[in-house]
Amino acid sequence: MIKFTTAGESHGRALVATVEGLPAGMPVDLGFINNELERRQWGYGRGGRMKIEQDQVEILSGVRHGLTLGSPLALVIENKDWQNWTEVMAVEPRDIDPEKSRRLKRPRPGHADLAGGQKFDARDLRNVLERASARETAARVACGALAKQLLVAFGAEIRSHVVQLGGIPDVPLELSWDQLAAIPEDAPLRCADLKIQQRMIESIDQRREAGDTLGGIFEVVARGLLPGLGSHTAWDLKLDGRLAQAVMSIPAVKAVAIGAGTEASSLPGSEIHDEIAYNSETKEFIRETNRAGGLEGGVTNGEEVRIRGYMKPLSTLRRPLRSVDIDTKQDEPAGFERSDITAVPAAGVVAESMVALVLASAMKDKFGGDSLGEMKRNFEGYREQLRGY
Ligand code: EPS
């Protein structure tokens, strides 16, 4: 199993992460990790903070001369904005002028502020905001970039794209791997259809003017996976469940769908299940359709894994919603500092990382091994087994 933990506050000194379970001897490309971090920062509709941060990872342990050692990796990503928050976010006790304390006491509807404050008995909701902030996802992307490097060693790749933003288009886009592979990295919204992307941009501009925010749907696609990852034998081993949890854990994601997703509940079985065929040349069982999204019974079936995340609009609104001051209990507008208008393309990149971590973990469960070489031998042995099946 591959385990990772992140720590760090949005305006604290740094984000940190540890990753355990990667096999020894796996190449680690720092440039690749940093490129993934840059991809997450990209996207039309981001706010002022993204002009301050230039996320770069530093690896403190677990890698020597470009290869993993099999020991835990420790990662650090500096928060450049911390320079502006050294007093407010100081580790040592401080007596700060209440005017300068940046205390939050008017919780934002939709954010973790109020529920988290009640839970932790925090009278300054900043104590909740700082960790609930999606800033934390930068650390996940650094971990996910390592998982991607493991998957690449086994011929698997992962991409994401935006299929709907703020309800545009009416019906979410459905694209082949080749179509989404053709999306340029600098596409403002990681959307394959230029006309639709332009309409999305206009909608973001309108919402910005209105002091509002927008959600949307992203899709993650993973291909090159053998059948047999995950397991039908126990609820917590089912890969669809593990993927759903991983994607649902991304801030603002309110629903997750695999393959045809919710449509599968309204169509008859004859229109949903993917009929099975056999390719005698490649000696592979195949499906001509992929409404199952690459997963049957919680196990990969060799088709592309397709998973969608439905993201609600961000809960920090320049034109704030009604809230209540936690001191006075009087109606007050919710707090506002600065915010993104939308972050759906960024959430797609975070979801790629989360999916990569779950898939890499499932690969490790199936093929085991302490070194990459051992894992590859086990993988090849299984591939041989499949050819003879
Ligand atoms: C976020 C609010 C904004 C976003 C932040 C997530 O930060 P700030 O409050 O500093 O303006 O920019 O996202 C990131 C910093 C990031 O790296 O993605 C929030 O409240 O969730």
Residues 250-298 pLDDT 10s? 999 999 999 999 999 999 999 999 999 999 999 999 999 999 999 999 9
- Please give all residues whose beta carbon lies within 6 A of any atom in ligand 1, as ranges: 10, 47, 49, 53, 81, 133-135, 138, 316, 337-340
Q: Give the ligand 1 atom nearest the CA of 48.
A: 11
Q: Are the C-beta atoms of 130 and 12 separated by less than 8 Å? A: yes
Q: Give the ligand 1 atom nearest the CA of 129.
A: 20
Q: How far is CA 372 from CA 75, 143, 207, 212, 324, in A?
A: 21, 18, 48, 48, 55
23-56 pLDDT, tens digit per residue, is: 999 999 999 999 999 999 999 999 999 999 999 9
Ligand 1 pocket test, pick from 55, 81, 318, 339 with the greatest ligand atom count within 8 Å of Cβ, gives 339
Residue 240: per-residue pLDDT = 98
Domain of residue 374, residue span: 3-387
DSSP string, 165-206: ETTBSSS-----HHHHHTS-TT-TT--S-HHHHHHHHHHHHH
Q: Determine whether 79 is exposed, middle or buried from the number of CB atoms within 10 Å of its CB (0-12, 13-18, 19+).
A: buried
Name residue 309's beta-bridge partners: 218, 256
Greatest CA span in the chain, whole angstroms?
75
Q: Give the ligand 1 atom nearest the CA of 50.
A: 12
Q: Mean of the per-residue pLDDT values for the chain?
A: 97
pLDDT at residue 376 tops 90: yes
Q: Determine whether 66 is exposed, middle or buried from the number of CB atoms within 10 Å of its CB (0-12, 13-18, 19+).
A: exposed
pLDDT at residue 325 tops 90: yes
- How far, in Å, CA of 196 to CA of 167, rounded? 11
User: Rounded to the nearest whole angstrom, what is the distance from the C-alpha of residue 88 to the centroid of ligand 1?
Assistant: 16
Nearest to 133 by CA among 310, 10, 5: 10
pLDDT at residue 337 tops 90: no
Q: Determine whether 236 is exposed, middle or buried from the number of CB atoms within 10 Å of its CB (0-12, 13-18, 19+).
A: exposed
Bond preceding residue 313 cis, omega within 30 of 0: no
187-218 pLDDT, tens digit per residue, is: 999 999 999 999 999 999 999 999 999 999 99
Nearest to 282 by CA among 151, 155, 386, 156: 386
Name residue 324's beta-bridge partners: 331
Q: How far is CA 330 from CA 315, 320, 322, 358, in A?
A: 20, 15, 10, 45
Nearest to 41 by CA among 24, 31, 55, 30: 55
- How far, in Å, CA of 334 to CA of 315, rounded? 10
User: Rounded to the nearest whole angstrom, what is the distance from the C-alpha of residue 330 to the centroid of ligand 1?
Assistant: 27
Counting the structural domains of the chain, the total is 1
Ligand 1 atom 20: residue of nearest CA: 133
Confidence of residue 112 (pLDDT cuts 50, 70, 90): very high
Nearest to 150 by CA among 245, 229, 55: 229
Q: CA 241 from chain center: how many Å?
A: 16
- Tokens 């019974």 locate to 297
CA angle 334, 339, 344 (to 5 degrees): 115
- CATH code of the domain in which 147 resides: 3.60.150.10
339-375 pLDDT, tens digit per residue, is: 899 999 999 999 999 999 999 999 999 999 999 999 9
Average pLDDT in the 126-135 region? 98
pTM reported for the whole predicted model: 0.98
Average pLDDT in the 218-243 region? 98
- How far, in Å, CA of 121 to CA of 383, rounded? 54
Ligand 1 atom 6: residue of nearest CA: 134
User: Rounded to the nearest whole angstrom, what is the distance from the C-alpha of residue 350 to the centroid of ligand 1?
Assistant: 14
- Provide the total of helices (H) and of strands (E) in the chain, helices listed first: 11, 16
User: Rounded to the nearest whole angstrom, what is the distance from the C-alpha of residue 387 to the centroid of ligand 1?
Assistant: 48
Ligand 1 atom 15: residue of nearest CA: 135
DSSP string, 355-373: HHHHHHHHHHHHH--SBHH
- Tokens 């700060």 locate to 96
